[in-house]
Amino acid sequence: MCTAHPASPELIKAVWRERWGGCVVSPNAAYQPPDVQGLVLLTDGGELAAIATWAPTRVGAEITSLDAIIEGHDYDARLLHMLELFLTEQGVRCATIVTSNDNLRAFQLYARRGYRLVAIHRDAMEHVRKIKPSLPEIGEDGIPVCDMWEFEKGL
């Protein structure tokens, strides 16, 4: 049985440096590790399986990142469920999350978990590239990376 625990600021910073280029950019904000809180999912052996981060918003919480560190075991889906429960316990009633238009796996995960597509931010990745110039033009499955998809779920 995997267990969820708060993520340390140092771990968030290390994961974001490795996987996100040090910051996460959404249509609403450019987040740095000190701006967010995190939750980690550990395997029975204590190995890091997944990490999620979020920031409070005026209407709920924005999930800023969700990473399966160990692939192929649905750890990201499990942690997303645990994070939703945690946020609900904290009084959060609405969660949002964004992904780039090439991330079809994320689209499927969010849709299966009850998130609804509420906005398409056309050409938003051009704004992201101003902050993170190394962001590729072509992403997963050869899809041009140009838009952000915003999802929302009532908790």
Amino acid identity, position 67: D
Q: Is the pLDDT of residue 77 over 90?
A: yes
Q: Give residue 14's pLDDT band: very low, low, confident or very high (50, 70, 90).
A: very high
Q: Taking the C-alpha atoms of 135, 141, 142 and 148 in order, what is their torsion angle to the nearest 10 degrees?
A: -50
Task: Quote the pLDDT of residue 22.
Answer: 95
Residue 95 has pLDDT above 80, yes or no: yes
Task: Tell me what pLDDT residue 2 has.
Answer: 82
Instruction: Give the CATH number of domain 3-154.
Output: 3.40.630.30
Q: In what order do the strands lie in the sheet with 148-154?
A: 3-6, 37-42, 48-56, 61-68, 94-100, 148-154, 116-121
pLDDT of 20-44, one tens digit each? 999 999 998 999 999 999 999 999 9
pLDDT in tens, 50-72: 999 999 998 899 999 999 999 98
Residues 6+ apart with CB under 8 A from 109: 76, 77, 80
Q: How much is the pLDDT for 19?
A: 95
Domain extents for the chain?
3-154
Half-sphere exposure of 44 (CA within 13 A, CB side): 1
